[in-house]
Amino acid sequence: MAETENRITRRDFIRGTTCATLALAMGIGLEAQEKEKPLKLTKVMLVRDEKVFDKEGRIDPMVIQKMMDDAVTVLFDKKKPVEAWKTIIKPKDIVGIKSNAWGSLPTPDALEQTLKRGILDAGVDEKNISIDDRGVLGNKVFQKATALINARPLRTHAWSGVGSLLKNYIMFVPSPSDYHGNTCADLAAIWKLPIVKDKTRLNVLVMLEPLFHGVGRHHFDKKYTWKYHGLLVGTDPVAVDAVGLHIFKAKRLEYFGEDRPMTPPPHHIAFADTKHHLGTSDLEKIELVKLGWKEGILI
């Protein structure tokens, strides 16, 4: 996986332009130049802050706000958060924030409100914004939505191995069990349905306090959570999920002292890439940009 926090300077640009001119003068064709171009990587932001939890273990809304501000400004290469939001959201958009309401580890309210604030700052009327999970099929805003924001915590899942960004859209189908076959291998197919196809502008995988191990359907156990203090943010849900899964496995290795297989295997992330061509799951094709706290980063 590539990691970078660098920017292209004016000197780099001039150097590249000069080399291209010389190449043409020497008779080197465009095809040869094309082959030498570096692979375009999918950018994923990892932002962490050791102060995101207060002394009582509650999430600090101001810190979450700063984490998201930092993530979107770097992700979209803007100076101000509002400029970043205006890159992906237009004033006339109707926006659904697809949250997750699983009782033991829901999408934090502080994050939901931060996302809503970004959409409002982009000029969207509040009546055209809704936050929902299990009620999306009956939600008028989601039915008319022109843009979606996808946000949920990463956790183990009894049917899909992990509950991930890809899994979060299963509530957009009338019968979720139709997608449980082969341990939810084809979750990416949901992303091609008209209600969601090409509408997702931003994905936020919540890594504040992930659940990294569980047994059975009702498997929440507080001892298998850990305060990672992080958010993974990107436009490609497959890439974000792939990075999250990598961190997840690193934590399991650290905790158990061995590479213990996950049951069931979370292969829906790889299949989203190799079978459904929704995004990239290959870590070598992902540019991971790390912001903030580095202790215990596991990647």
278-294: per-residue pLDDT in tens? 999 999 999 999 999 99
Q: What is the pTM of this model?
A: 0.87
For residue 200, give the H/E element and its range. Answer: strand 200-211
Give backbone dihedrals phi and psi of 4, rounded to 5 degrees, phi first: -150, 150
Q: How crowded is residue 289: how many other Cβ atoms within 10 Å of its Cβ?
A: 19
State the pLDDT confidence band at 22, using cuts at 50, 70 and 90: very low
The whole-number average pLDDT for the span 58-80 is 97
Give backbone dihedrals phi and psi of 162, rounded to 5 degrees, phi first: -135, 145
Percent of the chain at pLDDT > 70 equals: 86
Q: Is the pLDDT of residue 207 over 70?
A: yes
* Strand-pair partners of 2: 287
The amino acid occupying position 59 is I
Q: Which of the pair, 162 or 117, is modelled with greater confidence?
A: 117
Question: Do residues 272 and 188 lie in contact, with contact meaning Cβ atoms separated by under 8 Å?
Answer: yes
- Supply the pLDDT for residue 7: 40
Least Cα distance to 96 among 79, 110, 109, 115 occurs for 115
Least Cα distance to 188 among 242, 142, 228 occurs for 242
Angle formed by the axes of helices 61-75 and 81-88, to 10°? 60
The DSSP bridge pattern shows strands 200-211 and 230-234 to be antiparallel
SS3 at position 241 = helix
Question: Do residues 286 and 45 lie in contact, with contact meaning Cβ atoms separated by under 8 Å?
Answer: no
CA–CA dist 181, 165 (Å, integer): 18
Percent of the chain at pLDDT > 90 equals: 72
State the pLDDT confidence band at 1, using cuts at 50, 70 and 90: low
Q: How crowded is residue 23: how many other Cβ atoms within 10 Å of its Cβ?
A: 15
Residues 6+ apart with CB under 8 A from 188: 166, 238, 268, 271, 272, 275, 276, 278
How is 48-109 classified by DSSP, letter by letter?
A: E-TTSB-TTS-B-HHHHHHHHHHHHHHHTT-SSHHHHHHHH--TT--EEEE----TTSPPPH
What six digits make up the tokens of 257? Answer: 């002292």
Residues 6+ apart with CB under 8 A from 154: 162, 163, 164, 205, 206, 207, 210, 211, 244, 248
The whole-number average pLDDT for the span 16-31 is 43
The pLDDT tens digits of the residues spanning 249-275 come to 999 999 999 998 888 899 999 999 999
Handedness of CA 118, 83, 146, 196 (dihedral sign): negative
For residue 18, give the H/E element and its range. Answer: helix 10-25
Question: Do residues 285 and 3 lie in contact, with contact meaning Cβ atoms separated by under 8 Å?
Answer: no
CA–CA dist 188, 282 (Å, integer): 16
For residue 132, give the H/E element and its range. Answer: strand 129-132
- Supply the pLDDT for residue 219: 72
- Highest mean pLDDT, choosing among 1-5, 155-159, 265-269: 265-269
